[in-house]
Structure formats: structure tokens, C-alpha cells
């Protein structure tokens, strides 16, 4: 009898992508195999949901509605719903979609295989939501998306209470992993060929508050610097309130910590930041940017901005534009505010009319586009070592270029070299042209460095996918920078 197939559909932030790799690992450990990418359905379809935006619900129930007839035609097929919307809606999901077999939450993703089995045996839906974290997801088996880059979760949950955000209600208070566990996972990953890790948390630089060490995050960055074979370290997302000088020093003094920082601003207006309960103000934010640039002159800084937060006036918005002009972000993920039921902001007076939000949003995007392009133009003539990305690259007329990420995470399209180059290998190129959202290196590649990451990618594509090594220390997947989830929930 052939193995049952599975499909995990992921919505929302990097934390969900990380969790989906665990869900895939759990299912493969239970004997399921991944359904082909283009398969419409599978024997088990898992929705790993996001709850950040108003229509997140509509989207889920719409998808579940479309699956109902397919399930009716496929005896034994099971549907499971997990993630933030499941944590919020619980048994409402099986009431609204009684063809769903399993509902599990953000704190008990490890229960999925057992719940699927129980639903099958008992022929009834299983709804199991834990109020607090049962097992640190990082200890669960995993099925990585990439052979050479990985997410490493350092904490879950958040102690902040931003008034537009539902995350603390659905992912709970911050829980930190022990530094030793994190470093052991990183060393196991590097042993498997991973050369880039992204440290992940709702609020990474608050790391340590749960284990009583305020400098734990900068110490962790420095410790990553000592991991032999680890070429690139990134992290997402920090919070400006907790962004301290020891972190800036660790970034500047640790060679494999990349010159890239994503730091959500959300608004440039002190009055709006107060209403958002973001506990920092414009001056502090710009002060951090200044310190980072002084310590790491070629750092690429990106951000998240919400336009149209309740009560935002034209003067407030002008303050946001002012910070954008001052900060000169390489990139900004910009969002139009939308109510999130269950958040304090949803009940606030002064909800800004849609057309006003739209008009401001367009002004902000236009300004940032200009700045991104000007900042990219400064890269022309620079020689960069680019980590070659998976995938087809980009077609420029008749030329198909390869793509990759520079140390500062800028996207670079470059000419395919004569010699073979694999995803995960490093290519040295000279930037010849800048566009608003990518760089081009049209000249010949100046050098190719074959890496263990490239070897790992070759091993993976050559052989059938091995399962995660069950050391309690997973092997993991692919951090491509995701388009931010709406309303700034890029896990922060």
C-alpha cells in the first residue's frame, strides 16, 4: 500500500513558515510523504493559518469550502487546521466547516499526527487547543525547505501589547530557548551543510528576558560567530525598545552576522506610537539607526510601517514621511491599517476613512520607492559575494540570469558563469545596474566558491529526501524573506 500524502498550506509570518516545516517533519515521521507541489489535494491537507487581518477568516473558510466536494470524492482524506486562527476560533471552525477533522493550536503543533489518527479511528472531529506552550517547536522533527539555509527559533510568544496586534493573545507570553539548545541546533544544521541561519522570534532582541540575562541576544550573536562553517547569520524581528548598544556592537564585531537589520517603525509620529503602545518614540528610533550606521556603515536597514492607524492625522503622517526621509531605508514593508477583531485598536475612535488611508499609502510607497532606488544606485560598482539562490533566476530578454542574496540581503541577478554553480555556492560579482528592488551584475562572474551548502543542495536534489535526524535537534528549511504579513506582523 503506497504511503499517504500530505500538503501543508502556510499563511502569514516567518514563525508560521518555521512551524510548517515542523508539521511536515512530524507527518513524514509518521510515514506520510509530501504530495507533489502542483497537487490540488492530498490525503492530509493542513492549513497553518494567520489571524492578522480581517479577511483572514474569510480566506480560510473560503478555502475549506472549496475542499469540501474534493474530500467527499476522496474517502479517507483528512483536513486539519492549525496556527493563529485555529488558536483564536477553536471549535467554531468545525461548527462552520464540519468536514474539518482536526483543529490544533499554536502551542501544541506536536499533537497533529495523534489527533489525525484519533479522528480517523473515532470518525469524529478532534479539537485540541493548549493554553500554553507544550513543546518548543524546535525540538520537533522537521522537513526543511532548503538544503543550505534555515530558520532557528530562539523564542516564541511576545511580552509586548501593541494595540493593533493579536499575536500575544494567540502565541502567549515570551518563552526563551536555552542558549545551549539553540547553539546545538545550529551546529547540527551546519554539520548537515547549512551555511546561513536566521534567528527567529516575535521580538528577538528581548531574548533573555525569560532566562534573566538582558545581554543574552548579543552573547548569542557572538557565539554564532564561533560556529565553524556558519557563513551567514541573520535575525528577525527586533523591537526598537529593546535594541541596545551591546547588540549593535555584537553585530559590528561578529564577522558572520550580516550587515542587515529589519526594524519595524510602524509610525513616525510620537502621538501614534503612544496609541500603538510601541513604547519608543521617533527620537529613539532615529538614534538607533544612527548608531547602527556608525558601527556598520554598509548596513541595509528595512522596516514595517502601518498607514492609517486610528486617529492618525495629516501631521502624524508627515512625521512618518519625515522618519522615512531621515532613515533612508533600503526597503519598507508598508501596510494600510485594518481592524483586527480582538485588538484594542479595533475599538478605538477616529478610524481613518479608506480613501484617506489609500491616498497616504500611495504617497508613502512613492517616497520609499525613490529612496530604495537611490540607495541601490550606491551599490553600482561594488563587488559582492552573492549566495546563489534556488530556482530559475530571472529572464532578461534572451538572457536567463541566476539570482542570489548579497550579505545585506539585497537581491542580485547575475550572469550565469561558464563553470557550474549550485544553489548555496557563492558567486563574486560586480554590480553594474540598480533597480528599485534588485541589483544587476551584467558582466562576467569574477569567481565561484563551491561551498558545503552547494554540496548539501546537490545531495538533496540527487537523492530522495531523507527524514530529519531524530536527535531532538531538527534539520530545517529555507528562509527566503517573505512578503510581510498584513499589518506589520512579520512576527513583529
> Under 8 Å CB-to-CB from 318, ≥6 apart: which residues?
none
Q: How far is the CB of 13 from ligand SF4 (least distance, A)?
A: 9
Q: Is the dihedral of CA 337, 342, 345, 347 positive or negative?
A: positive
Q: Which is nearer to ligand SF4, 115 or 216 (CB)?
A: 216
Q: Is the dihedral of CA 114, 118, 121, 124 positive or negative?
A: negative
Cell numbers describing residue 270: 510620537
Q: Which is nearer to ligand SF4, 339 or 394 (CB)?
A: 339
Q: How far is the CB of 165 from ligand SF4 (least distance, A)?
A: 3
Backbone angles phi, psi at 103, to 5 degrees: -125, 125
The helix/strand/coil state of 273 is: helix
Q: How far is the CB of 337 from ligand SF4 (least distance, A)?
A: 13
Instruction: Provide the b/e sequence for 131-142 (b: ≥16 CB within 10 Å).
Output: eebeebbbbbbb
- Beta pairing class for 426-430 and 447-449: antiparallel
Q: How far is the CB of 278 from ligand SF4 (least distance, A)?
A: 7
Q: How far is the CB of 232 from ligand SF4 (least distance, A)?
A: 24
Q: Which is nearer to ligand SF4, 4 or 171 (CB)?
A: 171
Q: How far is the CB of 240 from ligand SF4 (least distance, A)?
A: 10
Q: Which is nearer to ligand SF4, 52 or 301 (CB)?
A: 52
Q: Which is nearer to ligand SF4, 162 or 292 (CB)?
A: 162
Task: Give residues in contact with ligand SF4 (CB under 6 A).
Answer: 158, 160, 162, 165, 167-168, 202-203, 239, 492
Number of residues that this document lists for the chain? 492
Q: Which is nearer to ligand SF4, 167 or 273 (CB)?
A: 167
Determine contact, residues 222/215, Cβ cutoff 8 Å.
no
Rounded distance, CA 197 to CA 256, Å?
10
DSSP-derived secondary structure letter, 469: P
Q: How far is the CB of 354 from ligand SF4 (least distance, A)?
A: 22
SS3 of 132-178: the string is CCCCCHHHCCCCCCCCCEEEEECEECCCCCCCCCCHHHHHCCCEECC
Q: Which is nearer to ligand SF4, 254 or 336 (CB)?
A: 336
Q: How far is the CB of 10 from ligand SF4 (least distance, A)?
A: 18
Q: Which is nearer to ligand SF4, 163 or 282 (CB)?
A: 163
Cβ neighbours of 123 (radius 10 Å): 7
Whole-number Cα distances in Å, 184 to 179, 224, 339, 457, 467: 9, 11, 41, 22, 19
Q: How far is the CB of 202 from ligand SF4 (least distance, A)?
A: 4
Determine contact, residues 57/87, Cβ cutoff 8 Å.
no
Residue with cell 558572520: 256
Q: Which is nearer to ligand SF4, 170 or 292 (CB)?
A: 170
Amino acid at each position: 500500500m503506497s504511503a499517504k500524502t500530505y500538503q501543508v498550506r502556510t499563511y502569514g509570518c516567518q514563525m508560521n513558515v518555521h512551524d510548517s516545516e515542523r508539521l511536515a517533519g512530524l507527518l513524514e515521521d509518521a510515514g506520510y510523504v509530501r504530495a507533489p507541489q502542483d497537487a490540488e489535494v492530498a490525503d492530509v491537507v493542513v492549513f497553518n493559518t494567520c489571524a492578522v487581518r480581517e479577511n483572514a477568516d474569510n480566506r480560510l473558510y473560503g478555502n475549506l469550502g472549496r475542499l469540501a466536494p474534493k474530500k467527499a470524492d476522496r474517502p479517507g482524506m483528512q483536513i486539519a487546521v492549525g496556527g493563529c486562527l485555529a488558536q483564536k476560533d477553536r471549535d467554531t471552525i468545525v461548527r462552520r466547516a464540519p468536514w474539518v477533522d482536526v483543529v490544533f493550536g499554536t502551542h501544541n503543533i506536536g499533537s497533529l499526527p495523534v489527533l489525525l489518527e484519533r479522528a480517523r479511528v473515532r470518525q469524529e472531529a478532534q479539537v485540541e487547543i493548549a493554553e500554553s506552550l507544550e513543546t518548543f517547536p524546535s525540538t520537533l522533527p522537521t522537513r526543511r525547505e532548503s538544503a543550505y539555509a534555515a530558520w532557528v527559533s530562539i523564542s516564541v510568544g511576545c511580552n509586548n501589547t501593541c494595540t493593533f496586534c493579536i499575536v500575544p493573545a494567540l502565541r502567549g507570553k515570551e518563552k526563551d530557548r536555552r542558549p545551549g539548545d539553540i547553539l546545538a541546533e545550529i551546529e547540527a544544521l551546519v554539520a548537515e551543510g547549512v551555511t546561513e541561519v536566521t534567528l527567529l522570534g516575535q521580538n528577538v532582541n528581548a531574548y533573555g528576558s525569560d532566562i534573566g540575562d538582558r545581554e543574552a541576544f548579543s552573547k548569542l550573536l557572538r557565539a554564532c560567530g564561533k560556529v565553524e562553517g556558519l557563513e551567514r547569520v541573520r535575525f528577525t524581528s527586533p523591537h526598537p525598545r529593546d535594541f541596545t548598544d551591546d547588540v549593535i556592537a555584537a553585530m559590528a564585531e561578529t564577522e558572520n552576522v550580516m550587515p542587515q537589520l529589519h526594524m519595524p517603525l510602524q509610525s513616525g509620529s510620537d502621538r501614534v506610537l503612544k496609541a500603538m503602545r510601541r513604547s519608543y518614540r521617533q527620537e529613539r528610533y532615529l538614534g538607533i539607526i544612527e548608531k547602527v550606521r556608525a558601527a556598520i556603515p554598509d548596513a541595509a536597514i528595512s522596516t514595517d510601517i502601518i498607514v492609517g492607524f486610528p486617529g492618525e492625522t495629516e501631521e502624524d503622517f508627515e512625521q512618518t514621511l519625515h522618519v522615512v526621509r531621515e532613515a533612508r531605508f533600503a526597503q519598507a514593508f508598508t501596510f494600510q491599517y485594518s481592524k483586527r477583531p480582538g485588538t484594542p485598536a479595533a475599538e478605538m475612535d477616529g478610524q481613518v476613512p479608506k480613501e484617506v488611508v489609500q491616498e497616504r499609502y500611495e504617497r508613502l510607497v512613492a517616497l520609499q520607492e525613490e529612496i530604495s532606488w537611490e540607495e541601490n544606485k550606491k551599490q553600482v560598482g561594488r563587488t559582492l559575494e552573492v549566495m546563489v539562490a534556488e530556482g530559475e533566476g530571472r529572464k532578461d530578454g534572451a538572457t536567463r540570469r541566476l539570482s542570489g542574496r548579497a550579505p545585506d540581503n539585497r537581491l542580485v541577478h547575475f550572469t550565469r558563469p561558464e563553470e557550474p554553480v549550485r544553489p548555496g555556492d557563492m558567486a563574486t560579482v560586480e554590480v553594474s545596474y540598480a533597480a528599485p528592488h534588485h541589483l544587476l551584475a551584467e558582466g562576467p562572474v569574477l569567481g565561484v566558491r563551491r561551498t558545503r551548502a552547494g554540496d548539501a543542495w546537490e545531495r538533496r536534489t540527487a537523492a530522495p529526501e531523507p527524514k530529519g535526524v531524530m536527535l531532538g535537534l531538527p534539520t530545517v528549511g529555507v528562509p527566503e524573506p517573505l512578503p510581510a504579513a498584513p499589518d506589520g506582523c512579520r512576527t513583529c
